[in-house]
Structure 1
Amino acid sequence: MRVIVRTFSELCVTVGAVIVLFVVYVLFWTGVRAERAMEDQIDVLHEQWGRQSADPAPSAGPASGAGSAPSASPTDAARQPDYRSGRPFAVMYIPRLGFTWNKPVLEGTLAGTLKKGLGHYAGTARLGQTGNFSVAGHRRTYGDPFKDFPELRRGDAVVLTDGTTWFTYRIDKGPYKTVPSDVEVIDAVPRKSGYTRPGRYLTLTTCEPEWGHSHRLIVWAHLDSTQPVEAGEPKALRR
């Protein structure tokens, strides 16, 4: 009986230690690795943009109003870099989440991609182009990029840059709660967004509840303005 009790006790201690180590891995170590990975992705972009700075792409002028962002010329669209699966192409800033909050945006939403930053839904619009530029991010683990997602409000700015242009989107609706099977949230004109005609939209998605994935939180925004990087940071990023 003593052998059985001792063996069971040792097994419980071992299982407990494994659980503690797993919790530490999920809560802490994945965050450390993700922060490093995201910093590396941003460094890759800055190096790439530095090499391209000798041949800057033209940018559209400012605009305002839902769905009425400036139309991009064929040249603008042609000069945007290809979106390569798993590779970064932009950096996102959301002042509401903190003026130090910035995350790389990579192409695709595979698990490995979302460990390195935010993921652009393949097949949705390109940044600043007509359609719905849709992006997903983890709520918790892997750097907690969208931990404070529920704090987003109508009128908040979501700013992105591709190295040549600043794109400022303004939130119109959300956070809106739905189920993962509701794929219409990333349609070119999302049915529940309140938009009724084609425009230049942004959709952000993350998991709900905070430590689960039974539902999704959605935010929709429209392209409010653009300006060339050479003009300095957009007003939304100035403290």
Structure 2
Amino acid sequence: MSVRLIVRTFSELCITIGALIVLFVVYVLFWTGVKAAGATEGQIDDLQRQWARGTVSAPAPSASRTSPSASPSSPNAPSSPGPKSPAPEAYRDGKPFAMLYIPRFGKGWEWPVLENTEVKTLQKGLGHYRGTARPGATGNFAVAGHRRTYGDPFKDFPKLRPGDPVLLTDGTTWFTYRIDKKPYRTVPSDIGVIDPVPRKSGFDGPGRYLTLTTCDPEWGSSHRLIAWAHLDATQPVTDGRPAAFHS
């Protein structure tokens, strides 16, 4: 085999590899975003149809709907048990049940929250960790989302600051949570961050908490970024959007 043939073969191989790399980058940076946009819009439309039909699940019995919580670490439970309420319906795997808004990430930032954190679910929106609390309920409502790809929902995660509002609606109630500290970095095996009283959060007792999780570094997954928040206020959707949207 001549040197010219070897060089030509090597050059063609490099061109082919380069083309594949370019295609992969286009897929990661562009096409996954296109797919996510279509899938997310579909989930939002599905939620709006559910809410229009009045088929949304009722909020958890322990959720306050009238006043802000007392403090991040307080149980914030009713003073008397009152009549027993029926258990709310379970969320359906892979299906949307709420909308999440984080004003810090921009005026138009809104994402549906679906049940479970499987790969195919996180391609359509944010995922609720199965088994964690419902919105507004005592415990820890924990949510995962992509940092990059599939719409980059948590691209700006490191920008979260104490006091930032995180707003959530299930179609009947607005829940306003407040971030308690800057994002915390840990490893994927640290599942204590989504405990009912999340470890390392600084919360020292039962309360109504929210945990957001995403990958770190920005284009990797060796670590996780965690943000914790406590329930600050609730109000019926009939009262309009909470003032925290403009804070």
The verdict on a shared fold, with TM-score over 0.5 as the criterion, is yes
Q: CA deviation at 1:138?
A: 0.5
Q: 8 Å contact 2:58–2:89 — kept in the other structure? A: no
Q: 8 Å contact 2:56–2:97 — kept in the other structure? A: no
Partner in structure 2 of residue 174 of structure 1: 182
Please list the CA deviations of residues 52-73 of structure 1 after superposition, one character each: whole Å capped at 9, or x if unmatched.
0899879721223324556598
Q: 8 Å contact 2:93–2:114 — kept in the other structure? A: yes
Q: CA deviation at 1:140?
A: 0.5
| Pairing 1:1-239 to 2, within 5 Å after superposition | 1=2, 2-52=4-54, 60-64=65-69, 65-66=71-72, 67=74, 69=76, 71=78, 74-75=84-85, 78=87, 80-238=88-246
Gap runs ≥5 in structure 1: none
Q: CA deviation at 1:225?
A: 0.8
Q: CA deviation at 1:174?
A: 2.7
- How many residues were matched structurally? 237
TM-score between the two structures when normalised by the length of structure 2: 0.89
SS at match of 1:174: coil
Q: 8 Å contact 1:137–1:205 — kept in the other structure? A: yes
Q: 8 Å contact 1:169–1:223 — kept in the other structure? A: yes
Gap runs ≥5 in structure 2: none
Q: 8 Å contact 1:60–1:70 — kept in the other structure? A: no
Q: CA deviation at 1:82?
A: 2.4
TM-score between the two structures when normalised by the length of structure 1: 0.92
Q: In 1, Cα distance between the equivalents of 2:57 and 2:137?
A: 21
Q: In 2, Cα distance between the equivalents of 1:83 and 1:208?
A: 29
Q: In 1, Cα distance between the equivalents of 2:31 and 2:246?
A: 33
SS at match of 2:232: strand
- Bigger Cα displacement from structure 2, 132-141 vs 2-11: 2-11
Partner AA of 2:29 in structure 1: L
Please list the CA deviations of residues 146-203 of structure 1 after superposition, one character each: whole Å capped at 9, or x if unmatched.
0000000000000000000000001112301111111100001112111111111000
